[in-house]
């Protein structure tokens, strides 16, 4: 299976607020344009399946991608955004000033978002779902999943053999694609990280 992990396009809150799982945050006009360009760039693919996080910004991105393939996105809660607990909805500028933020950046594997998940929790559910998809889609089938930066980074870190403490070294930009190949025999490979329009 060739898994294409697509981060959702931008919203008015991207880069400003830790939106998390909060409802009612759709793509911005810029985000819809980004998703449309991503769709054009991915047009040559012929996915066997298109899955999405249930969060609105992902569903909207997935719907734009799906139109070119006549695929209706299927929602998979395993790829939902990390539960940031009481940090959800807070301005990133205020979070950067917290000692807890330094702990997250320095030792991500031991950090639990206040009232929420750990990145290990995120990685466990997302990798389990990826392995399930690999079992369902053998040979060279292409599967596209639209998700979130921390979810995608956690999957990439797993298949790269990267410790979670180093996860923030991986950059996953809005509307970018990363690819994990899970062959029927042999080990996984990660040929693409954070590609958008041929740029990384």
Structural domains in the chain, CATH included, are: 2-193 (3.40.50.1240)
pLDDT, average across residues 22-31: 97
Point out which residues pair with 147 in neighbouring strands: 7
Residue 138 has pLDDT above 80, yes or no: no
Q: What percent of the chain has pLDDT over 90?
A: 94
Per-residue confidence (pLDDT) for residue 74, from 0 to 100: 98
pLDDT of residue 200: 53
pTM beyond 0.75: the answer is: yes
* pLDDT per position as a tens digit, 86-137: 999 999 999 999 999 999 999 999 999 999 999 999 999 999 999 999 999 9
Say what the pLDDT of residue 184 is. Answer: 84
């Amino acid at each position: 299976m060739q898994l294409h992990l697509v981060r959702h396009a931008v919203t008015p809150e991207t880069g400003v607020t830790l939106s998390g799982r909060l409802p009612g945050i759709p793509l911005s006009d810029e985000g819809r344009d980004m998703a449309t360009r991503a769709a054009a760039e991915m047009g040559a693919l012929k996915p066997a399946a298109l899955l999405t996080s249930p969060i609105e910004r992902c569903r909207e991105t997935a719907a734009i991608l799906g139109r070119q393939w006549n695929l209706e996105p299927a929602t998979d809660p395993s790829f939902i955004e990390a539960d940031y607990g009481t940090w959800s909805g807070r301005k990133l500028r205020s979070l950067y000033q917290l000692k807890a933020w330094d702990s997250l950046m320095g030792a991500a594997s031991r950090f639990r978002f206040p009232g929420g998940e750990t990145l290990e929790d995120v990685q466990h559910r997302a990798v389990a779902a990826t392995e399930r998809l690999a079992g369902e889609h053998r040979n060279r089938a292409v599967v596209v999943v639209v998700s979130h930066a921390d979810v995608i980074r956690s999957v990439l870190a797993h298949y790269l053999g990267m410790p979670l403490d180093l996860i923030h070294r991986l950059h996953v930009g809005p509307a970018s694609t990363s690819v994990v190949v899970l062959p029927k025999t042999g080990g996984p490979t990660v040929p693409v990280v954070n590609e958008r329009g041929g740029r990384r």
